[in-house]
Amino acid sequence: MVLDDLGSSLRGTLDKLRGKSRLSEEDIEEIVKEIQRSLLSADVDVSLVMELSDNIKERSLEEEPPAGTPARDFVLSIVYEELVALIGESTELPLEEQTILLAGLQGSGKTTSAAKMAWWFSTKGLRPAVIQTDTFRPGAYDQAKEMTQRAEVDFYGNPDAEDPVEIARKGLEETSEADVHIVDTAGRHALEDDLIDEIEQIEGVVEPDTSLLVLDAAIGQGAKDQAQQFDESIGIDGVVITKLDGTAKGGGALTAVDQTDSSIAFLGTGEEVQDIERFEPDGFISRLLGMGDLGQLTERVERAMQQTEMDEEDWEPEDMLQGQFTLNDMQKQMEAMNNMGPLDQVMDMIPGFGGGIKDQLPDDAMDVTQERMRTFSVIMDSMTDAEKEYPKAIGANQIERIARGSGTEEEKVRELLQQYKMMEKTIKQFQGMGSEQEMQRMMK
Ligand code: GDP
């Protein structure tokens, strides 16, 4: 994904600085070189790379870290702020009546993005319509029709008409019941004058509130010229970066954002109508730098809690703090973990846990952990309620029976009991700390 490489290489460099309270000029030089190398190899425009790295260097050398802040964290915060400043806020798209015009070269993903965006707006309670004005690309009409059907949104197009400007005009009339109009336009292989003329005319008729440039994440240096031309002719307010699920580097798209002085509106991450994300700069860059994405993490935890029905009356996390920690508690915890999704994704969202620590784990460590949780869960299903409530009373005979019942080995049952003991000990430590309120806050 965009700048994926930046995250891991930068973390490597920064980790070498762990424990240092002051950074030398050479340290900073090394960090800046690493940033430059990553950005350039991700196809970010050279002048942009220079500007960004100069800012980071200047600030790291001149600004004083706040008292008690390790030098490494201080530099990381500067890199973060500069990247946020470069990428900027997400393109503003109020959840109200509006018209959006999509521009871009053929194959960039306009038609797909139009349907995806319409789907996205529909999940926000609005009524979107897609208007297909591409008379140039054979198949554009059918594709748009089919995708908007899947997205369950309104659609207008006319495969027999020849004048895209007329289709746009008619489309707006025919879909007047919709709140959000998304107008898809034709692309060409390269920027030809007639494409520019055509889109300018469509823009005149449609009078969009927002014009978005759709860019394939694989676009490299060409992004700059393209962005400039579209910006001059219709004015670009934001960028949609598509195909981020591939191996694309995405740096060109960042260049385009800078070139048009715009921002990123959406990210496309697949071929299905639901494969779209609204761009959130803070979370995106934090994840990239291995600083965690607390917003996303909180959302996942809440979802997982709901799925596990943790907040049902019969099980309250707080109970663990008051009385005995039982195997039932442990099972609930594991289910919640499972519901949060793949562990490695979750780890990326935990501040200080993504990247750095994760990179040091063997590749399959995460799978093993998840596999282990599944085995534990199967074993617990073969236990009686009494055994789960008083695991300490489980003896050799019971271990043998539980192993047989769950189709696992006795060794695994012992492992589970060992894990339980460790967790119980940790919980006891919590219980011995501070006020109850404080403990509950920590547990949450
Ligand atoms: P247009 O010519 O700009 O309208 O481009 P299309 O919407 O037809 O997209 C071109 C190709 O890219 C199609 O095969 C799409 O399925 C594919 N595509 C578009 N967006 C994405 C994406 O986010 N991920 C992937 N994997 N493919 C995409």
Residue with tokens 């965690």: 292
CB atoms within 10 A of CB 102: 27
As a residue count, the chain comes to 444
* 139 Cα to the center of ligand 1, angstroms: 13
Residues 300 and 239 in one domain: no
Judging by DSSP bridges, how do beta strands 98-103 and 180-184 pair with one another?
parallel
Question: Pick from 27, 60, 87: which residue ends a domain?
Answer: 87
* Cα 104 to Cα 184: distance, rounded to the nearest angstrom: 10
Residues 167 and 214 in one domain: yes
At residue 79, what is the residue type? Answer: V
Q: Establish whether 432 is an annotated binding residue.
A: no
298 and 437 belong to one structural domain:
yes
Q: What is the distance between the alpha carbons of residues 47 and 52, in angstroms, rounded to a whole number?
A: 9
Calpha distance 162→174 (Å, rounded): 17
Q: Is residue 93 part of a domain?
A: no
- CATH at residue 319: 1.10.260.30
Most confident of the following: 53-67, 68-82, 88-102, 273-287: 88-102
Range of the domain at 135: 98-288
For residues 183 and 316, state if they share a domain.
no
The residue whose CA is least distant from atom 19 of ligand 1 is: 109
| Domain finish residue from 288, 316, 337 | 288
Q: Answer whether residue 406 is part of any domain.
A: yes
Indicate whether 301 and 378 sit together in one domain. yes
Q: Which of 268, 288, 308 is the last residue of a domain?
A: 288
CA quadruple 240, 246, 248, 250: dihedral positive or negative?
positive
Q: Does 92 reside within a domain?
A: no
Look over the chain and give the mean of its residue pLDDT values, rounded to a whole number: 81
Q: Which residue has the higher pLDDT, 365 or 328?
A: 328
* Inside any domain, residue 46: yes
Residue 121 clears pLDDT 90, i.e. is over it: yes
Instruction: Verify that 273 and 388 share a domain, yes or no.
Output: no
Same domain, residue pair 270 and 342: no
**Residue 414 burial (10 A CB sphere; 0-12, 13-18, 19+):** middle
Q: Identify which of 242, 244, 269 to mutate to test ligand 1's pocket (most ligand atoms within 8 A of the CB).
A: 242
β pairing state of 154-156 and 210-216: unpaired
Instruction: Examine the domain organization and report whether 147 and 221 are in the same domain.
Output: yes
- CATH number for the domain harbouring residue 29: 1.20.120.140
Residue with tokens 């219980």: 431
Q: How many angstroms is it from 271 CA to the middle of ligand 1? A: 7
Rounded distance, CA 180 to CA 126, Å?
A: 7
pLDDT, tens digit (0-9, with 9 covering 90-100), for 134-177: 988 888 999 999 999 999 999 999 999 999 999 999 999 999 99
Residue-level pLDDT at 289:
65
CA 204 – CA 187 distance, rounded (Å): 18
Task: Write down the pLDDT at residue 303.
Answer: 60
Structure ipTM: 0.99
Q: What three-state secondary structure class fits 240?
A: strand
Residues 260 and 306 in one domain: no
With respect to residue 279, please indicate whether it lies within any of the assigned structural domains.
yes
Entry pTM: 0.65
Q: Structure tokens of 175?
A: 């879909």
Q: Is residue 188 part of a domain?
A: yes
Q: Annotated binding residue at 68?
A: no
Query: Has 169 been labeled as part of a binding site?
Result: no
User: Which among 26-35, 87-96, 207-216, 236-245 has the top mean pLDDT?
Assistant: 207-216
Query: Do 46 and 40 touch, CB atoms closer than 8 A?
Result: yes
For residues 190 and 291, what is the distance between their CA atoms, to the nearest angstrom? 39
Give me the half-sphere count of Cα atoms (radius 13 Å) on the Cβ side of residue 397: 1
Q: What is the DSSP string of 152-177?
A: T-EEE--TT---HHHHHHHHHHHTTT
Q: What is the CATH number of the domain that holds 164?
A: 3.40.50.300
Q: How far is the CA of 48 from the centre of ligand 1 (A)?
A: 28
Cα gap 228→236, rounded to integer Å: 9
Helical pair 327-339 and 410-431, crossing angle rounded to 10 deg: 90
Is 195 part of any domain? yes
- Mean pLDDT of the region 293-302: 58
Query: Structural domain tally of the chain?
Result: 3
CA of 108 to the centre of ligand 1 (A): 6
Check whether residue 193 and residue 64 sit in a common domain. Answer: no
Kindly give the number of the ligand 1 atom that is closest to the alpha carbon of 105. 3
Instruction: Mark whether 71 and 105 lie in a shared domain.
Output: no
Give tens-digit pLDDT for 6-63. Answer: 666 677 777 777 777 777 888 888 888 888 887 887 778 888 889 989 999 999 888 8
Tell me which of 201 and 356 has the higher pLDDT: 201
Q: How confident is the model at residue 383 (pLDDT cuts 50, 70, 90)?
A: very high
Q: Is residue 47 part of a domain?
A: yes
Of 422, 432, 436, 435, which is closest to residue 333 (Cα–Cα)?
Answer: 422
Q: What whole-number distance in Å separates Cα of residue 107 and Cα of residue 213?
A: 13
Residue in 271, 274, 275 to alter for ligand 1 test, most ligand atoms within 8 A of Cβ: 271
Check whether residue 57 and residue 149 sit in a common domain.
Answer: no
* Residue given tokens 């695994």 in the structure block: 412
- Res 433: pLDDT: 54
